[in-house]
Structure 1
Amino acid sequence: MAFLKGSGKGKCCGLQWGSSQIRLHKIVRLQQENLQKLVHIEHSVRGQSNLLQPGREFVKEGTLMKVSGKNRHPRHLFLMNDVLLYTYPQKDGKYRLKNTLAVSGMRVSRPVTEKAQNVLKIEYAEHCLTLSASSCSERDEWYSCISRSLPDDYKAHNTSAFHNSIELRERLGIPLGERPPTLVPVSHVMMCMNCGCDFTLTLRRHHCHACGKIVCRNCSRNKYALKYLKDRLAKVCDGCYAELKKRERPLSVIFPPTSSRCSGSAFSSVFHNIHYSSFKKQKKTPSALMEVAASGEGSTISGYLSRCKRGKRHWKKLWFVIKGKVLYTYTANEDKVATESLPLLGFTIAPEKEEGSTDAVFHLYHKQTLFYSFRAEDYNSAQRWIEAMEEATIL
C-alpha cells in the first residue's frame, strides 16, 4: 500500500514537472519569436538603431494612410510595448524612419470627421497624427493595441474630456501656457465646453489659448500673459486663469500697496472681475442630459446620423449615442451636454422598404406610429445602428 501511495505521488509530481516544462518551452519560444521580429524590424527600418532593449516586445505592424488635407500618404507603423516607430515605405521594400514615439506620452482616439473615414488620431507632446485605416475593424484593432500598451496612469485618463485638462499637459511635461495647446476644431463644438450653454449668432465661440478648449465669452473674460506668446496677453478660460494665478508668486507680499494711488486700480479691478454671467439668468439643464458626454465612453454605439422628424422632409445631421438603452442626441461630437434623450424601450425599428432605394434609411416607430427617420452614411453603418437600437428596445 505504501508503494502504491508513493507511486501516486511520483506520478503527480511527474505531471506537474511535465506541465512546467511545456510552459517554459512556450515562454522560450515566444521570446525567440519576439527577438527575431525585433531583429527583422531593425534590419528593415533605415535610421533606426538600438531597437533591441530589455523588456521590449513587438505588438503590431501595419500600413495606415496619413490624412493631410485632401491628400493621403502611406505610413507604416511598428508598435512595441513602449515605442511606436512611424515610418514610410520605400521602393526597395524597406522603410525610412520619420519618428520614434514613446507610448507612455500618447493619447489615442477615434474621431469622426468628414475628411476621412475610419480615422485614428494619435497625439503626443506638441504633435498630432491623423491616420486613416482601410476598415473600421482595422482602426479599432490599432486603437485597442495602443490602448493596451499605455501605462495604467495614462489609461485612466485617456478620454477626450481629459485631453484638454491641465493634468494631462503636466504629465506630458508641458506646463500650462508655455507651449501652444492643441485647439479643438470649431466645427466640432456647438456649446460651451465649460458651462454647456448653446452658441448663437450673438454668443460666439472663443478658444482658450492655454488649454485649447472652446468656451463662451462668459467663461473667457480673463486674459493672461502666456510664455509661448512671449508674455503677450491672451484670452484664457476661467479654469486656466485660476490655475495660472495660483502658480504666481503673491506680488502683494513683495510690493505691498502703500499709497492711495493703488486704491483706484484696486477699485477698477473689482469692476473688471464682475462677470456678465452673474447677471445673466442661467439656463437650467436637466441632469439626465448631462449624464453622458458625446465622446460616448462606455456606450453601445456612437456616430453621426441624419434625422428627419415625423411628417417633415428636412434632414438634419446630428451626433447620436446609445448608452443604457437611451438614445442621446448632440449637435456635435465634442459637446458635453445632450440636447435630447429618448429611452428606446417599447420602440420598434424598421429599415426602408421602398424598392430601388439606395439610401441607408431606417425608421423608429412607437406603437405603429412613425417617430423618427434616420439615414446613415452607408448600408453597413445603418445595419450596425439598427442592431444597436433593436437591442436597446428590449429589457
Structure 2
Amino acid sequence: MVDHLANTEINSQRIAAVENCFGASGQPLAVPGRVLLGEGILTKECRKKPKPRIFFLFNDILVYGSIVINKRKYNSQHIIPLEDVTLETLPDTLQMKNRWMIKTSKKSFVVSAASLTERKEWISHLEECIRHLLTKTGRQPSTEHAAPWIPDKATDICMRCTQTKFSTLTRRHHCRKCGFVVCGDCSRQRFLMPRLSPKPLRVCNLCYRQLLNREHPGLAFSISIKSTLKDSH
C-alpha cells in the first residue's frame, strides 16, 4: 500500500515534525516501517462538551491530541493501534453532523468532520489501513469494545434510577462499562476490568450485577436479594 514510503526522507521529516509539535509530553513516533498518511482537525465529543482535536493517521496507528497552537504545539497525546479499531457511522444530531464512532477495547469515542466528504475520506483511509494490518498480521477484527461515555449535558437526571437530579452538589458519574451518566447511589461499586485499567473502576449497579454474574453465576442474584431486603427495612 504505502510501504515504499516507509524509509524515505520526506516521511522521516513529516514524522519528526509531529514529534516536535508534541514535544517532551509526547511519545516517539518514528519506528521502522511506519508512514504518516495524513492529518486533520476533527471535533471530539468529550465529557463536558465537543472539542477540536488534531488527528494524525499513520499506516499502523492513529494519534490525536489537544491543540495549543495549531501546527506548532499539541499536548495530551493519545496513540491507538489501528488493528484494535472498529468504526461505526452515526446519524447527525442537532449539535454535531458527519459523526462516526472510533471503537477500541480500551476506549471508544465519537468524532465529527467538517463535511460529509471529509468524513468519507477519513473512514475510507482508516478502513484501508485496518484491512491491510489485519491481513498482514492474520488477526481477526476486534469484537469487544469499550462503551463511549455519554456527555454530561445529555441528561439532567440519573440514567439508572431516573430519580436523582444533578446539581452543583449532586455530581454526575460515568459507568465505565455502559458509559451511562449516573448518580453516586447508583454507582457505588467498583469492578476490575483488566482491558480498561489495572485498578477497579466505577460501574453502575446494574452493570456490577451483570459483571459479577458473568464471573460468579448466582452470586449477583444473592447480593441483589440482600440489597432489596435491606432497603425494605
Superposed CA deviations along residues 47-89 of structure 1, whole A, max 9, x for unmatched, are: 2232110111111101011123783311001111112111111
Amino acid across the alignment from 1:105: D
TM-score when normalising by structure 2: 0.55
Select the residue among 108, 125, 136 that pairs with 1:145. 125
**Equivalent in the alignment of 2:77:** 98
Given the alignment of the two structures, is residue 122 of structure 1 paired with residue 96 of structure 2, yes or no?
Answer: no
Amino acid across the alignment from 2:52: P
Select the residue among 197, 209, 212 that pairs with 1:233. 209
Secondary structure of 1:45's partner? helix
Output the CA distance in 1 between the equivalents of 2:27 and 2:48: 34
Q: Are 2:109 and 2:148, in contact at CA under 8 Å, matched by a contact in 1?
A: no
Alpha-carbon offset, residue 29 of structure 1: 10
Structure 1: tracts of 5 or more residues without a match: 1-26, 159-166, 173-180, 186-208, 213-225, 249-395
**Please, what is the CA RMSD of the aligned residues?**
3.9
Secondary structure of 1:125's partner? coil
Structure 2: tracts of 5 or more residues without a match: 151-174, 179-190, 194-202, 218-233
Amino acid across the alignment from 1:90: V
Superposed CA deviations along residues 136-189 of structure 1, whole A, max 9, x for unmatched, are: 01011111111111132699976xxxxxxxx722xx7xxxxxxxx52899xxxx
Change (3 A) 1:97 1:137: same
Output the CA distance in 2 between the equivalents of 1:50 and 1:184: 29
Give the number of aligned pairs. 160
Secondary structure of 1:90's partner? strand
User: Where does 1:14-53 land on structure 2 (aligned, <5 Å)?
Assistant: 27=4, 31-46=8-23, 47-53=25-31
User: Where does 1:246-261 land on structure 2 (aligned, <5 Å)?
Assistant: none
Alpha-carbon offset, residue 97 of structure 1: 3.4
Output the CA distance in 2 between the equivalents of 1:138 and 1:127: 23
User: Where does 1:244-393 land on structure 2 (aligned, <5 Å)?
Assistant: none
Q: Are 1:107 and 1:124, in contact at CA under 8 Å, matched by a contact in 2?
A: yes
Change (3 A) 1:29 1:233: closer
Change (3 A) 1:108 1:51: same
Secondary structure of 1:233's partner? helix
Output the CA distance in 2 between the equivalents of 1:184 and 1:71: 12
**Equivalent in the alignment of 1:182:** 147
Which structure ranks higher in relative contact order (CA pairs < 8 Å, sequence separation ≥ 6)?
2
Amino acid across the alignment from 1:168: T
Change (3 A) 1:184 1:113: farther
Select the residue among 37, 40, 58 that pairs with 2:36. 58
**Equivalent in the alignment of 1:112:** 91
